[in-house]
C-alpha cells in the first residue's frame, strides 16, 4: 500500500535537513509518495500566511508528515500543524550515543509531552497597559490521554521507570488535576511510577539521568526538559520527535531553524533523519526504522561529524555516510 508523506521543510536549516531525511527514506525505497508544502517565515513574507491552506490540506490528507523547522513564525506553524494532524502526544527520546563526548553518556530518556494545552493554549491578553495574562488550561481528558499514552509507551518499549513531572504544590488546580489524573491511570493498571516536582527534576536529570526512563510532562515542562536533556547527550542536532494523534502523526526534530548556521550546509541532519525513523516505525516499517537508527549510530560513532559534534563534515557528507551504511 502506498503511503503519502507530506514534506514541509520550512525555514533555515529545515531547508537543509529535511531533504537529507527524504534522501534516506528514498534510499530504503518503501512505497512512499512525497508531497511538498510551504510553511514559515519565507512563505509568510511572500503570501502573508505562515501556514497556507494548501499546506494544511496536504498534511491533513497524508498518512504522516515530516516537518523541518519554522523561524519566527514557529508558533503560527507548528501549533496549528499539530492540530491538523490531531496530535495529543509529543514523544521526544533523548539518548546518548557511543563515541560522542556527551555530558552524560548514560542517558536513555523518553519525554512524553502533553501537546494540546497547558501554557501553550494560546489564551493570552494584555488586560491593561503594562499588564498581561496567560490562561493555563489543563483538562482531565487531555491529562488522562497523555498518561495512558505514556504508560503504554513505557510498557511497549521496555522502560521500567515512569516519572510524572508536575508542579502541583504551586499550580494546585491545574497541575493538581494533571497529577491526580496520571496517578489514577497508573493505579488503574497497577503500574509502578514516581512523581517529581519539575524544578527539582531538572536538577536530578542533569546529575542522574540514568535513573529515568519515561517522563510524562505537561506541555511547557516537556518542551524545556527535553531541550535540557539534549544538552546532556550532545546537543539539539540529535533529538528527534513524533507528534502522535489517534489517526495521523507529524515527525520533526526538536530543534528550530538555527539561523546562526543556516545556509552554510553544516547542520547536523541526525535529528531529522532519526525523526524519519520514527515515521517509519509509525507506518509499520519497524525493520527499516531499526536500520536507519543503526546507520545513524554508526556514523555518530565513527564519523563523519558536523561541527556541532566537533567535526568538520557537511550535512551532505553525513547524509551520504548514513545512506552508505544502509
Ligand atoms: P534552535 O534549535 O534553532 O537553535 C539552538 C542552537 O542549537 C543554535 O546554536 C543552533 O545552531 C543549534 N542547532 C540546532 N539544531 C542544530 C542542528 N541540526 N545542527 C547543528 N546545530 C544545531 O533554537 P533557537 O535558536 O532558540 O531558535 C531559532 C529559531 O527557530 C527561532 O526563530 C524559533 O522561533 C525557531 N524554533 C522553531 C521550532 C519549530 O519550528 N518547531 C522549535 C524551536 C525554535
Ligand atoms: Mg522547544
Summarize pLDDT for 233-247 with one digit per residue, the tens.
Answer: 999 999 999 999 988
Q: For all residues of the chain together, what is the average pLDDT?
A: 96
The alpha carbon of 316 and the centre of ligand 1 are apart by a number of angstroms equal to 19
Closest by CA position to 36, among listed 59, 6, 66: 6
Burial 267-306 (b: 16+ CB within 10 A, else e): bbbbbbbbbbbbbbbbbebeebbebbbebbbbbbeebbbb
pTM of the model: 0.95
* Residues involved in catalysis: 120, 167, 199, 223, 227
The alpha carbon of 254 and the centre of ligand 1 are apart by a number of angstroms equal to 8
Q: Give me the percent of the chain exceeding a pLDDT of 90.
A: 94
* Spatial separation of the C-alpha atoms in residues 143 and 157, rounded to whole Å: 21
Range 170-186 average pLDDT: 98
How many angstroms separate the most distant Cα atoms in the chain?
60
CB atoms within 10 A of CB 20: 24
Q: How confident is the model at residue 15 (pLDDT cuts 50, 70, 90)?
A: very high
Mutate to test the pocket of ligand 1, among 43, 256, 263, 275 (most ligand atoms within 8 A of CB): 256
Mutate to test the pocket of ligand 1, among 75, 223, 239, 255 (most ligand atoms within 8 A of CB): 255
Please name the residue whose Cα sits nearest to atom 44 of ligand 1. 256
Amino acid at each position: 500500500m502506498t503511503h503519502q508523506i507530506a514534506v514541509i521543510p520550512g525555514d533555515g536549516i529545515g531547508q537543509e535537513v529535511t531533504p537529507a531525511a527524504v534522501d534516506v527514506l528514498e534510499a530504503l525505497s518503501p512505497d512512499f509518495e512525497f508531497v511538498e508544502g510551504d510553511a514559515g517565515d519565507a512563505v509568510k513574507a511572500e503570501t502573508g500566511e505562515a501556514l497556507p491552506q494548501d499546506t494544511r490540506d496536504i498534511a491533513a490528507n497524508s498518512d504522516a508528515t515530516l516537518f523541518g523547522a519554522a523561524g519566527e513564525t514557529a508558533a503560527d506553524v507548528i501549533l496549528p500543524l499539530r492540530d491538523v494532524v490531531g496530535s495529543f502526544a509529543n514523544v521526544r527520546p533523548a539518548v546518548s550515543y557511543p563515541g560522542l563526548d556527551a555530558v552524560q553518556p548514560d542517558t536513555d530518556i523518553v519525554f512524553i509531552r502533553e501537546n494540546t494545552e497547558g501554557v501553550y493554549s494560546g489564551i493570552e491578553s494584555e488586560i491593561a497597559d503594562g499588564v498581561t495574562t496567560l490562561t493555563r488550561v489543563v483538562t482531565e481528558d487531555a491529562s488522562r490521554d497523555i498518561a495512558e499514552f505514556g504508560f503504554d509507551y513505557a510498557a511497549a518499549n521496555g522502560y521500567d521507570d515512569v516519572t510524572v513531572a508536575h508542579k502541583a504544590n504551586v499550580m494546585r488546580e491545574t497541575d493538581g488535576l494533571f497529577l491526580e489524573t496520571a496517578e489514577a491511570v497508573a493505579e488503574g493498571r497497577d503500574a509502578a511510577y514516581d512523581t517529581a516536582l519539575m524544578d527539582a527534576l531538572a536538577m536530578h536529570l542533569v546529575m542522574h539521568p540514568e535513573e529515568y526512563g519515561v517522563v510524562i510532562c505537561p506541555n511547557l515542562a516537556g518542551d524545556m526538559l527535553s531541550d535540557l536533556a539534549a544538552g546532556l547527550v550532545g546537543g539539539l542536532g540529535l533529538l528527534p520527535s513524533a507528534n502522535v494523534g489517534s489517526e495521523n502523526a507529524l515527525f520533526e526534530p526538536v530543534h528550530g531553524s538555527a539561523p546562526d548556521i543556516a545556509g552554510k550546509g553544516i547542520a547536523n541532519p541526525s535529528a531529522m533523519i532519526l525523526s524519519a525513523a520514527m515515521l517509519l516505525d509509525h507506518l509499520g516499517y519497524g525493520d527499516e526504522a531499526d536500520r536507519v537508527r543503526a546507520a545513524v549510530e554508526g556514523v555518530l560513532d565513527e564519523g563523519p561529524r558536523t561541527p556541532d559534534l566537533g567535526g568538520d563534515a557537511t550535512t551532505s557528507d553525513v547524509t551520504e555516510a548514513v545512506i552508505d551504511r544502509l
